[in-house]
Structure 1
Amino acid sequence: MRQLNRLNQYQRLWQPSAGAPQQVTITELASRCFCSERHVRTLLRQAQEAGWLSWKAQSGRGKRGTLTFHVTPESLRNEMMEEALKSGHQHNALELAQLAPEDLRALLHPYLGGLWQNDTPTLRIPYYRSLDPLVPGFLPGRAEQHLAGQVFSGLTRFNGTSSEPTGDLAHHWEVSTDGLRWDFYIRSTLHWHNGDKVETVQLQQSLIALLALPALRKLFQSVSRIDVTHPRCLTFILHQPDYWLAHRLATYCSRLAHPEQAMTGSGPFRLTVYDSDLVRLESHEQYHLSHPLLKAIEFWITPTLFDYGLGTSCRHPVQIAIGEPDELASLRLVSNSTSLGFCYLTLKQSPRLSEMQARRLINIIHLTELLHTLPLNEGLITPTQEMLPGWCIPQWPELRDVQLPKTLTLIYHLPVELHTMASQLKQYLAQQGCDLTVIFHDAKTWDGCLKLADADIMMGDRLIGEAPEYTLEQWLRCDALWPHLLSAPQFAHLQATLDAVQTLADEQARHIGLKTIFTGLMESAVLTPLFNYQYQISAPPGVNGIQLNTRGWFDFTQAWLPAPKS
C-alpha cells in the first residue's frame, strides 16, 4: 500500500523533533528512512509538493538543510483514512487503522452501521474475529453457519421461524408411498453467482461430493444413490425410509456450491471479499427467490481495534451490535430471544462413576446455587431445567448418602462461559471430597479431541437450528462425543433407535420418538442441560428489518435502510 509507506516515511522524518524544525543532512535523513540519499530526495520533493513539509537544502556536500513540517502524521492518517473510506477502499482504511487505534473512534463514526455508499445501501458490521473458510459440511461457528446460508442454496430451506422445510433450488418434491424414492423438481431459472445457469447435473455432482464427507455420510446414511431422472429433476433412492431427508437437505451443512468453484454459490448474496480483515457480500441480482433489500453487507474484522474501546459487534458472541462506535452503549435493542441451544454436561458411566453417583453430581448442579452464582454478565445466560420446551430434566431425591468418587476428570470446549462453570464445579466437588481434574479443549466442537476417551465428564455447547427436534437427531448421529460417551452396545442401540424414528412418516410421531430418546438419556444421568443464552441484536436508528433467527443472527435479505435525506 503506497499511501501507508509514504505515511510511515513521513512519521520517521517527524519523530526526532516531534514536528519542530530540524537542521539535518541528507545522509541523516536517508539513514532514518532506511533508503538511499537519492530516494530520500525524492521523498522530500513529493512531500513538499503535497504541502506536508518544506525542505531548504544548503549547497555543499554534508551541509545541513532546514526541514519544516506543515502537517502532523495524525492529521495525514485521518485524511488518508477518510479518503479510503469514502472511495470504498476498505482494506486500505483498515490497514491505516492499525497504526493508531486511539484515533479510530472519530474516524469510523460515520462509516459503521447502515449507510448509502455511492447510492448503494450497505450494512457494515464490526466483528471481533476472523472468519473460518466456508468449507462444505459442518462448520463450528455460528457466524460461518449463518453466512453459508446467505451465500449458498440447498435443495430445500427453512423459511423464517417455521421448522418445516420449504422449496429452494427445488420448488417441490414428491415421496413414494414406501418412502424410498424422493423426486426433487429443480427450478428452471437458477444462476450461479458467476452468471452461469445452474445445471441439474452440477447439483448432483455437488451432492455426491458432499455425501462423500465422513460426517455427512453419517447424516445421509440411508441414501443409496442420487440420479438425474430429468433435466429438471433430482431423484434420491434410499435403502430405508428417512422422513428427515428434506430437513437434512435444508440445513446449512447441505448447502451446495458450484462443483468446480468452492466459493461460488447461488444464494441471495455472493462473496466478493473473504479475507482475514474484511468480508464483503453483495446481492445476487439473479437470485431465484425474494431479492435482498441491501446491496452489500460487510464484516470489518479488526480485533486490535476493539481493544481500544471502539466497541465490537460481539461484546459477547451472542450479543451483536451493529453501529457507530460512540453509540454502542446506547444502541436500541431491536431483537432478543432465549436460545433453544444450550450448554450441556454429559457423564460417562464406568467403574469410576456409577449411575447413582452421576445422579448425585447432576443434583449438585441443579439443586444448588452453582448455576445461579456464576460470575457472568447479567442477562447473558439463563439456567434451564429443560432440554427443549417440555423436555424436562428428571427430579431425583438429594442422594446425600451417595459418595462421589475420589477423583474425576472433566474435559470441556468453548464457549468461554464453560471456563467459569468448570472452575465452579471443581470447587463444589472439592467440598464433597472429590478432586476434579479439568482439561480444556480449545475448540468449538469435539472434532480432533484426543482426550475424550479418558474423561468422566464432558461439557460443551449445542447449537439448535431452525428445526429443534431434527437438530438434536443430527447431534446424536454425527457428533464425535457419543461414541466416546456410550459403550459400543449402547451406541449401536442409539443408532438403531434413530433409524427406527426416521422411518415414521408422521412428524409428531418422530418428535415423540426423539423426546423418548432424550428423556432416557437424562433419566440414566448421561446428559443434562445447563443453561441457555440470551441472544440480542442492537442497531442504530435507520437500520430496519432485523429479526433474530435461531442462530442468533438475522436474515440479511430482510434488512433495509431508508433513503438518505437530501
Structure 2
Amino acid sequence: MKIRRHYLALRNSYPHISDDAPFEATVGELAEVLDCTHRNMVLLLKRMQEEGWLAWEAKRGRGNRSTLRFQVKKEQMLLAEAQELVDKQELHAALELLHTLEDGDAAKEQFHDWLSSQFGFRTEVQGATRSDILRFPLPQTIHTLDPARIHFTGESHLVSQLFDSLVRMDAKGRSVEPHLAHAWDVDASRTAWTFYLRKGVLFHHGHQMVAEDVRYSLERLRRLAPKGLYSWAYAGIADMQVVDDYTIRIRLAARNEAFLAFLSTNRAAIVPQELCETVGEAFGRNPVGTGPFRLAGNEHGVWQLEVFPAYFQGRGFLDRVEVWAMPENSAAAREAHLPTFQVMHNVRISSSAERWQQVRQSGMTCKFITVNELKEGVMRNERIRAALNAAINRLRLLELLSGDVIEMGDSFWPEMMASGPNSPAPSPIDIEPEAIERELEAAGYRGEALILATIPQYETDARFIQQLCASVGIRITTKLIPAEQFKGEARMSADLLLFAIMLDEHRELRLIDLYKSLQQHLSPDMQHWLETSLTAILAEPDPALRTASFQAIEDQLKSRSSLLFLYRKHLKTAFHPNVRGIALESLSWVRFRDLWFV
C-alpha cells in the first residue's frame, strides 16, 4: 500500500518525536518531506486520519502551526507492509524491509511467527475442487533450471521434480533401475549400450518423447557444459545411433562402468529437442521436461510447480508446490531464520524437535582443501603442506562452526575408516602451535602469503581457516570464485582450494569428478598415477574392488598432504507427523510426487 510508505516516510522524518506526542508542523513542511503538492498532502493527511494512523488538528491563519500526533508505531507499520509484500510473493523485499529496523526485535519475531503460518501444507477449496499445496522457503538463489547449466543443490532438487533420466538409482543407491528406458542391453565389450524407451511419455508441452530427444539431450550437454559435472562421462561418448523412435544405441570410446550411473543423474535429464532449439538460453527460466511437475511461473523468486497429470508413472498427490528462493548470503534472510515446514532438509534441530516424527541421516557433505602443486611456491614442499595441515586444528574449527551438524572427517569413506584395521591416523589436531612454527621455519617457510580459492558459499569456512593458520604465522588471503567458474582457469592462480562434495548415492561419480579435477593441479608424476588409477576403476565391474581403489587414491593423496580433510556435515531430514509418502531409505531430497498430507 503506497500510502503506508508515505506514513513511514513522515515518521522517519521526525525520529526525535515520541509516539502519541503532539508537535507542531505545517502542511507545507510535510509536503516537502513527501515531495508532493499542498493539495495532495491535505488529501494524504485526511486518508491517514481515517486509517487511524495519525491525528491532525489543522489551524487556520497565517503563522499558525497545526498539531500532528503519530498514533501507529513504525514497527507496526513496517510489519503490515512486510506482510503485504509476502502476500504479493515478494519475500525478499519483505525481509529487506524489516532488516532496516534498528531496534525491532519484537516486530521481527512477530513477523517470523506470522511467516511460519504462511509456509507448509495448505488446502484451497473452490466449489467442489480441493487443491493441496506445499509452500516452503529455500535459502538459495535459483539461477537456472536447465539440467545442463545447474550448479547448486536447490537447482538440482527442482530439476529432479521437472525432468526424468533414462534410468534412476534405487532408493539405497546400490543399483540402477529402469525409468524413461524400460530396458537396455550392453555388448560383451561393455562399450555399446542399447536403450529401449517407454512409449507414450509426454513432455509438459504435450509432445511425445522419442529417441531423437535422448540423442539431442546428451549432445547438447556436451556442447553447453564441456567441463561441467561428470563431463568425463559424456565426453567418452564416441557416437549415438537412433535406431527408431524408441531405440537408441550409444557407443563409448572406452569401457566405463560408471556410465549407467551417470545416466541416472539429473545432469543427464532428457529435454525436448524442438523446444530447446527454439528458445535457446531462455530454457533455463522456462524449462520443459517429462517430470511429475511442470513449471507454472517464477516471479519474484517464487517458483511455482504444478502437478503434471499425464506423468508416465502416475499423477502426484500434491497439486502445487511453491518454492520461495532466497539469496543464501542475504543479511535479511539470515536474520529472518526462515521458518521450518513439514519437510525440512539440511535442518538444524532445535528444542522444538519433539514435534517431528522422523529425524534421520540422509547422506552427508565433506569439506576439504586440495593443494595446487603446479604453482611455483612453498606448497610444492611436502613438509610445509604437512605443517599447514597441522595448523588447521579441527577441534577448534568445529567450535567456530558450532550450530551445524558436523564432525571431524578424514575420509570420503567414513564407514570403511571406522572398521578398517589399516586406516591411516587422523589428521593432526593437537600439535602445539610452537611446534608447528618450528617445523615451518625448518621447512623453509618465511611468511609467504598463500591464496586460498573457494566459492562464495564457503566464505565463512575460508575465514576460519585463515584465522587458524594465522595463529601459527601462515598468511592466507581468500579468493572467491563463482561456482560455475570454479573448475576453470581462475583457480589455478591459487595455492589452496577449498571445496566440498556430497557423499550420497552418486558417491563414485562425484569422486571420479573430483579426482579428474585434482589432476589439473597435481604434480606431473601424480597426474599420471591418478589417471592410471581412474582408468582401472572405470574398467572394474566389482564394486568392492572399486571402493578399495578409491581408498588407495585417498590414502596416497593424504600421505603427501595434497588432500586435507576438514569436516563432514550430516544431512538430516525431519518429517512432520502429518506427512505421508516419504521413503525413509532414500538418500536424496524427497520426491514431491510421493508426498501427501493428512
Smaller-chain TM-score range? 0.7 to 0.9
The 5 Å alignment of 1:119-198 reads 119-137=130-148, 139-198=150-209
Corresponding residue for residue 221 of structure 1: 235
Q: Structure 1's 343 and 74: CA in aligned 2 closer, same or farther, altered over 3 A?
A: closer
Is 1:560 the counterpart of 2:596? The answer is yes
Retained in 2: the 8 A contact 1:171–1:187? yes
Provide Cα deviations, 1:194-216, integer angstroms capped at 9, x if missing partner. 33333432332222111222115
Q: Give the whole-Å Cα distance in 2 for the aligned partners of 1:296 and 1:233.
A: 34
CA, structure 1 residues 169+123, in 2 after alignment: closer, same or farther (shift >3 Å)?
A: same
Deviations 1:152-183 (A, max 9, x none): 22222223222322222222221122222211
Distance 1:57 1:397 in 2: 76
Query: Hey, what does 1:254 align to over in structure 2?
Result: 268
Partner of 1:475: 514
Separation (CA, whole Å) in 1 of partners of 2:587 and 2:153: 6
* CA offsets 1:512-533 (integer angstroms, 9 cap, x no match): 4434433433344432433211
CA distance 1:522–1:301, change in 2 (3 Å)? same
Match of 2:486 among 438, 443, 446: 446
| Cα distance between partner residues in 2 of 1:390 and 1:125 | 36
Secondary structure of 1:161 counterpart: coil
**Residues 361 and 29 of structure 1: is their aligned pair in 2 closer, same or farther, counting only changes over 3 Å?**
closer
Provide the rounded CA distance (Å) in 1 between the counterparts of 2:160 and 2:55. 56
The answer for the alignment partner of 2:531 in structure 1 is 495
Q: Do the aligned residues in 1 keep the contact of 2:191 with 2:251 (CA within 8 Å)?
A: yes
Kept in 2: contact 1:411–1:452 (CA 8 A): no
Q: Normalising by the residue count of structure 1, what TM-score does the alignment of the two structures yield?
A: 0.78
| CA pair 373-26 structure 1, distance change in 2 beyond 3 A | closer
Deviates more, 1:170-179 or 1:523-532: 523-532
Greater mean deviation of Cα atoms: 227-236 or 271-280 = 271-280
Counterpart of 2:122 in structure 1 is: 115
Higher mean alpha-carbon deviation, 263-272 vs 62-71, is at 62-71
Residue 506 (structure 1) shift: 4.1
What CA deviation, in whole Å up to 9, does each residue of 1:36-94 have, x standing for no partner?
Answer: 45655765787788887899999999999999999778767766776786xx6423x66
- 2:563 is aligned with 1:527: yes
What amino acid is aligned across from residue 286 of structure 1 in structure 2? Answer: A
State how far apart, in whole Å, the 1-side matches of 2:364 and 2:502 are.
8
**Stretch moving more, 523-532 or 370-379:** 370-379
Q: How far off is 1:227 after superposition? A: 2.4
Describe the superposition over 1:451-484 as per-residue Cα deviations: whole angstroms up to 9, x where unpaired.
Answer: 53451x433212234222232112223x3x4312
The 1:193–1:404 alpha-carbon spacing in structure 2 relative to 1, beyond 3 Å, is farther
Q: Is the 8 A contact 2:237 2:250 kept in 1?
A: yes
TM-aligned CA deviation for residue 264 of structure 1? 1.9
The one of 475, 485, 491 aligned to 2:522:
485
Give the whole-Å Cα distance in 1 for the aligned partners of 2:407 and 2:139.
Answer: 24
With over 3 angstroms needed to count, the CA separation of the structure-2 counterparts of 1:498 and 1:155, relative to structure 1, is: same
Are the equivalent residues in 1 in contact too, given 2:139–2:325 (CA < 8 A)? yes
Q: From the superposition, tell whether residues 199 and 264 of structure 1 become closer, same or farther in structure 2 (CA, over 3 Å).
A: same
Is 2:463 the partner of 1:419? yes
Tell me if structure 1 keeps the 8 A contact 2:369–2:499. Answer: yes
- Is the Cα–Cα contact under 8 Å of residues 12 and 33 in structure 1 kept in the other structure? yes
Aligned partners of 1:343 and 1:460 also within 8 Å:
yes
CA shift, 1:277, in A, is 3.6
Q: How many angstroms apart in 1 are the aligned matches of 2:92 and 2:416? A: 48
Identity of aligned residues (%): 20
Matches within 5 A, 1:284-295: 284-289=308-313, 291-295=315-319
Counterpart of 2:597 in 1: which secondary structure? coil
CA distance in 1, matches of 2:96, 2:396: 40
Q: Would the aligned equivalents of 2:116 and 2:340 in 1 still touch at CA under 8 Å?
A: no
Question: Structure 1 pair 345/72, CA: closer, same or farther in 2 (3 Å)?
Answer: closer
Q: Take 1:327 and 1:523, find their aligned partners in 2: how far apart are those partners?
A: 42
What is the CA RMSD across the aligned residues, in angstroms? 4.4
Alpha carbons of 1:372 and 1:64: their partners in 2 closer, same or farther (altered >3 Å)? closer
1:375 maps to which of 376, 382, 400: 400
Aligned mates of 2:39, 2:351 — CA distance in 1 = 49
Q: Structure 2 stretches of 5 or more lacking a match? A: 100-107, 277-282
Instruction: Answer yes or no: is the 8 Å Cα contact 2:54–2:68 preserved in 1.
Output: yes
Matched, 1:34 2:45: no
| Residue 371 to residue 62, structure 1, CA distance change in 2 (3 Å) | closer
Matched position secondary structure for 2:443: coil
Note the residue ranges of structure 1 that are not aligned, 5 or more in a row. Answer: none
* Contact persistence 1:193–1:266 (CA under 8 A): yes
Name the aligned partner's letter for residue 346 of structure 2: Q
- The alignment status of 1:232 with 2:252, answered yes or no, reads no
Aligned 8 A contact 1:333 1:536 in 2: no
* Paired positions, count: 541
Structure with more of its chain in helix, by fraction: 2
The amino acid of 1:9's aligned partner reads: H
* Aligned position for 1:460: 499
Please tell me the residue identity of whatever aligns with 2:401.
L
Alpha carbons 2:25, 2:65 under 8 Å: kept: yes
> Deviation of residue 406 (structure 1)?
1.1
Residues 1:9 and 1:335: Cα distance change in structure 2 (over 3 Å): same
Partner SS state of residue 203, structure 1: helix
C-alpha deviation, 1:308, in angstroms: 4.4
Matches of 2:571 and 2:515 in 1, distance apart? Answer: 25
Paired position in structure 2 for 1:204: 215
Q: 1:228 to 1:491 in 2, by over 3 A?
A: same
TM-score by length of 2: 0.74
Matched residue, 1:319: 346
1:279 matched to 2:303? The reply is yes
1:420 maps to a residue whose letter is: F
Secondary structure of the 1:110 match is: helix
Structure 2 distance, partners of 1:136, 1:198, is 17
Cα distance, 1:352 vs. partner? 4.0
The equivalent residue for 1:9 is: 6
Cα distance in 2 for residues equivalent to 1:84 and 1:397: 50
Specify whether residues 543 and 67 from structure 1 end up closer, same or farther in structure 2 by C-alpha distance, changes over 3 A only.
farther
